[in-house]
Structure formats: C-alpha cells, structure tokens
Structure 1
C-alpha cells in the first residue's frame, strides 16, 4: 500500500471534488451535500413529531471522522447518490394545480441515499488497477419504523474499503462493513463510525484482493459457475443451507456474462480463461445496477463468493458452483 506525502491542510477540506463517475447507477441520481442540507426536508417520528437523524448529519459526522482518523491525508468531497423521491407541498398550497406550484411551495426528500468519501492519497495497485481508500454509508428511511417516537432505533449501513479507479467498482469485505447498524442518536452513530474505521484491516483486505490475481478458471468453469449461480435461487431451502449464498439475480448474472466477452478491462483472455480478480470485478461491476439498500450487501457477497471459488480451486473445500 502506498501513502502519498501529507496534503496541505487547506487541501484536506471538502472543497476538492470527488470523482465524477458513479459508483452506483441503478435508478439513482447525483446530488450534493449542500442541496441535501438546504432543500431536503427531514422525516419525523409520527408519535412525537421529532426528527430522525438526517442524511446530511450522517454524511457530516462520517466525513468528520474520516478527516480525524486519516488526518493529513487528502479527503475529497462526498459523492452522493439518491433514489426514491418523496414529494410533497406545504399546506397553503394544497389546492394548487401542480403546474402552478412555486419552488418554495414544494417539499422533497429521498427515501434512500448512499455516499462515498474518497481518500486518494492512500492507494495501491492490483492487476494493473489503481485502488484508493473509500469510506461511506447508506441511509434508507424505508428500513425505519416512523410510526414511533424519538429514541427508537434508526438503521444505517457503513463501509470502508477500496474503489477501483479503472471502473469505480467498490471493493468491500466483511470487516469493513456494518450492514445493520442500529442507533438512536448521532453520538451512537459517530461511535460506530470510529469503531469501524479503527477495526478495518486494509492491509489484509489488499492481500486478499492481490491473491485473486493468482488463480484462474477456464471458460468451461466460468460457464459452470454461471449456470449453477442461476440455479441457486430456485433450489429448495434445505439444499441452500449447505451452499455458499449468492445474492446476485438473473439481471446481474446476465451482465457478468456480457462483460466476460466485452468489458475492456476485465474480459476473458484469448483462450477463454479469466483470473479471479477479473471475475470479481465483473460481479462488482454488475452490482452497479442494484438498488441502494441492497448494494453494499451484494458488494460484500461478491468477495465472499469469489473467495469461495478460490478455496475450491485450491482444493481446500468442495465448491458446489464448480462441480
């Protein structure tokens, strides 16, 4: 892993924009921190009209923790993607036709939001691809019970990992992911963020990713894996208990197949073979079509899945997808 010389403190502020390429696509749209802070309303608990932890507060407390833990490194502005808009209007405009509404009479917030903060001065290279450290999270209000009062648990997802700068695929492993974080205050949220940043082992993560470049599968094995993967969701529940889980559906698997032949960076070799680093990136690339609330779970699952293929090739365990 490489660490560039320390950045000037002025450059560590969030004035430096992040990469413009989207780390997730699906049905998301880009937005800015200022827009969320200024224009988006904050949902409240029905029983006492007290606000939930806002998306802006989530982004801000994460960004502050990143700047603290990685002090002296360059920290770019958060890249933010949102989906599922919830539109409304102020009471005084309830009888107005939609076409006559003024901007100040409209209300808006997005049910689902994901953001990522890039630290480009901490990086490494794997398979000829530059990876930079990245931290972020997901807030999906649809996971919260709004028919409650302040103090009820609110749900968040946190991650720290690496972004492949060739394709902006996110590389996330289990120890860099909190998939069901439940808190009831900003202070509890902040504590969890620091805990994740301090316990994540970036060197171990990079070694795991590097090891994927050392193993390859043939075209026949690739076809076997894809075929079994499409069968997995239709297996009886009892049979699934003994098989490594795969969270990717037919749409994502079709994308993996297409990119196996066509992707400029991660397609097969001339003989049809493909190493596991490239296979992993086919899965993380296909994951970009996933909705925000499932995106990180599938990101982690991609590494687990390819890691189990690797164990099967090593002979450490029998792998159903390779049989």
Structure 2
C-alpha cells in the first residue's frame, strides 16, 4: 500500500499496490523490535501455561496479557480490514514464579513442570501491518501497532480498580526493526476496568492517527546533517545532563537515554552498517534518530515506549535548532 494525502485534513487513503499481498513468506511481526532484558514468547504459550494475576483483597481477575493482545489485534483487523496484518510479536520480562499447593516444601530443583506456575510482570507486543508502508531514505517503514503492560504499575494488593495500559501506533523500520513512535501515536497510562474500555481506547488512537503526517515528519530528517564535532558536543552534553542537578536541567530539552545507551550510540556512530557516519564524519538526523531508537531497544519494557517517543522529540528538537527556528542547549 502507499500513503497519499487525500484531503485538507491529510487523512490516510489506502491505495492497493501490486506487492501488497505478495508478502507470504512472513507470517508474524518481527520479534526484534526489542532486544535485551526480555524473552520471546508465543501467545499460545501464554494462554496455556501462564497464570493470571488477581487483585489480592477480592480475588478479582486482572485483564491478562493475552486478553490485551487479542483485543488490540481485533481492533486492528476492524480498522485495517483487508490489509496484510501479521500475527503479534511478544516479548516479556520479570517472571513471577510460583508452585501448586501439593509442591509445598519441595526443593526448587525437584519441581516437576506441572507443579510450577508462572506469569510475567511486564509484556510488550507489536503487530505489523505489512501492506501499509512507505520509504524514508531508502528504508522501508511498515505501519505497526502494539502496546505495553506492566503489572508493577498497578496495586495488585488492593481491591479491583482501573488498570494501566500503554498503546502505540507508528512505523517499524524494516532495516533494523527499530520502532518509530511519536507523541501523536502514543497513549501513556490508559486507565480501564474492562476489555470494552480498552478496545475503545485502541479504536480512538488508531482511528485518529495521521500516517501521512507522520511520514512527512520523518522525511525531513535525512536532509539535515550534523558534523562529527556537533555529534561529539551532543554526546558530551548528554553526559553532563545525566549528572547535573535537577535545578540546572529543568529548563533544558530532556535527554531520553541512559549513559550505557549513549555509549552504544557512540559505538554505532562508527560501526553500524546502516546508520554510521559518512566518510567525512557527518551524519544526517535520520541516521542519528535510528541510532537513538536502536539503543533504546535495551530499555526495560516499562520505559521502552516513553523513551522511544522522547527520542523522536529530542531529534526533532535538533532539527528545529539546525533550521534556525529554535535554540537547543545540546548544539549551541
């Protein structure tokens, strides 16, 4: 599919392309949208093997990870009916282990599989819509939706109450599987009590998303270049930012990543096959943005989307500063 502007509101029009339905080799979204600190898991395993957390005081069930995924997948198929929608890619972290009552007192190494219980505190998933795509600097971007659930954000020791979810819609760079998510495609801290309320939130976000406008935003980045000296200044000030007192940085643009991720960006600046500097030592902002989103893959699940959105905002701020429309402490 191609993205085209069809009216004054720049809404999305889906125009069939000859290759839209020839992607039969791929049956699931790529699981490499995240990297460290997580495990790959299939949704069938979650349905069959994982227990479901409850609110401790009244034993009311939470909305499970699999219900969250199935709800978003259903909404996606309703909104993007007829498109080539790949099956969800799921990653989890922070396992919560237990055992059935008859295994009380048994040494952990002697537990049989049927005596163990398990669920994961944190979960992220992505569903790729492979037939809605465009290109930026030769990189194919596929429309992608998904969400994050982290039980640590809810008080499960209380009675049943509204539960926290995060939803996104954006693009996945097929070169590196980096997710490109901005504020317009992200809803943080959605509070719902039922699956119906969760579905409504997904309908609202996905239905209002302006894919054409989003592609335009990314398309302006490859034409803006920073020198190696400017890159070094950004890295140096990022180190300063992470360690300066709050009162000194409260009025500065927020830097989205941690020190170890900055180190990864510097390494990739010299060695990444797709997004490293050119022979003159310069790098355009599209490549820089992908260095940031690549480093963000090592974030924990509960901070992954927030930092991804902040990466887009940070690089967008650099773009505005280089165009002369805004001062930026990291560059000036």
TM-score range normalised by the length of the shorter chain: over 0.9
Return 5+ residue gaps in structure 1 as ranges: none
CA distance in 1, matches of 2:225, 2:167: 32
Residue 123 to residue 250, structure 1, CA distance change in 2 (3 Å)? same
Deviation (angstroms), 1:60: 0.3
Residue 232 of structure 1 corresponds to 241
Deviation (angstroms), 1:202: 1.0
Equivalent in 59, 65, 72 of residue 55 of structure 1: 65
Deviation (angstroms), 1:246: 1.2
CA distance in 1, matches of 2:209, 2:255: 24
Give deviations 1:117-138, integer Å, cap 9, x for gaps.
Answer: 0000000010110000000000
Deviation (angstroms), 1:142: 0.6
Deviation (angstroms), 1:101: 1.9
Equivalent in 41, 48, 51 of residue 31 of structure 1: 41
Residue 281 of structure 1 corresponds to 290
1:97-246 equivalent positions in 2, closer than 5 A: 97-150=107-160, 152-246=161-255
Equivalent in 58, 79, 89 of residue 99 of structure 2: 89
CA distance in 1, matches of 2:246, 2:298: 26
Deviation (angstroms), 1:45: 0.3
Contact 1:16 1:77 in 2 (8 A): no
Residue 321 of structure 2 corresponds to 312
TM-score w.r.t. length of structure 2 = 0.92
Secondary structure of residue in 2 paired with 1:111: strand
Secondary structure of residue in 1 paired with 2:45: helix
Secondary structure of residue in 2 paired with 1:245: coil
Secondary structure of residue in 2 paired with 1:80: strand
Contact 1:232 1:246 in 2 (8 A): yes
Give deviations 1:247-299, integer Å, cap 9, x for gaps.
Answer: 21111100000000000000001001100000000000001111110000111
Secondary structure of residue in 2 paired with 1:233: helix
Contact 2:167 2:202 in 1 (8 A): yes
TM-score w.r.t. length of structure 1 = 0.95
The reply to whether residue 266 of structure 1 matches residue 275 of structure 2 is yes
CA distance in 1, matches of 2:22, 2:296: 32
CA distance in 2, matches of 1:80, 1:149: 29
Secondary structure of residue in 2 paired with 1:289: coil
Secondary structure of residue in 2 paired with 1:48: coil
Residue 223 to residue 268, structure 1, CA distance change in 2 (3 Å)? same
Deviation (angstroms), 1:21: 4.7
CA distance in 1, matches of 2:80, 2:17: 10
Secondary structure of residue in 1 paired with 2:205: helix
CA distance in 1, matches of 2:17, 2:201: 26
Aligned pairs, number:
318
Deviation (angstroms), 1:4: 6.6
Residue 303 of structure 1 corresponds to 312
Residue 8 of structure 2 corresponds to none
CA distance in 2, matches of 1:319, 1:95: 60
Deviation (angstroms), 1:5: 3.5
Residue 4 to residue 106, structure 1, CA distance change in 2 (3 Å)? farther
Residue 322 to residue 11, structure 1, CA distance change in 2 (3 Å)? closer
CA distance in 2, matches of 1:185, 1:6: 38
